[in-house]
């Protein structure tokens, strides 16, 4: 098991396929809704633009790293929102077997 940090990873040279561009937009929408606790999102808001930029950055870094490293499997905590959600979608796009595990406010509960 290798644990890889993407805290400082950047790959701005990596173009994203259309499918991943759309995935980044969708996750950014979810992020903004989650952050604001409101389903209505202003796509010109600072928070949406922040999430879009951060999610695009991780999508590029993940795509570059996953193509180069070719892991056997990817395990991602909380694979729906924020950077981890984008990483999950990039791995799935590359057809790498991917598992996510989720937590909630319920103690002693986990979903795989």
pLDDT digits (tens, 9 = 90+) for 41-81: 999 999 999 999 999 999 999 999 999 999 999 999 888 89
What is the reported pTM? Answer: 0.89
pLDDT at 7 exceeding the cut of 80 = yes
Residue in this structure with the two tokens 């996750």, named with its chain if needed: 27
Cα of 52 vs its chain's centroid, Å: 11
How many whole angstroms separate alpha carbon 18 and alpha carbon 6? 23
* 95 CB-near residues (< 8 Å, 6+ apart): none
Between CA 9 and CA 80 the distance in angstroms is: 20
- Per-residue pLDDT at 48: 98
Tokens 């950077």, residue located: 83
Least Cα distance to 31 among 57, 50, 11, 59 occurs for: 50
């Amino acid at each position: 098991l290798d644990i890889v940090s993407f805290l400082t990873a950047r790959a701005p040279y990596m173009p994203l396929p259309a499918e991943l561009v759309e995935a980044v937009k969708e996750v950014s929408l979810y992020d903004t809704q989650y952050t604001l606790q409101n389903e209505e999102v202003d796509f010109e808001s600072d928070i949406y633009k922040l999430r879009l930029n951060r999610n695009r950055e991780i999508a590029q870094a993940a795509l570059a790293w996953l193509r180069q490293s070719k892991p056997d499997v990817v395990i991602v905590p909380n694979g729906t929102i924020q950077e981890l959600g984008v990483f999950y979608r990039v791995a799935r796009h590359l057809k790498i077997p991917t598992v996510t595990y989720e937590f909630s406010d319920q103690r002693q509960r986990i979903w795989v």
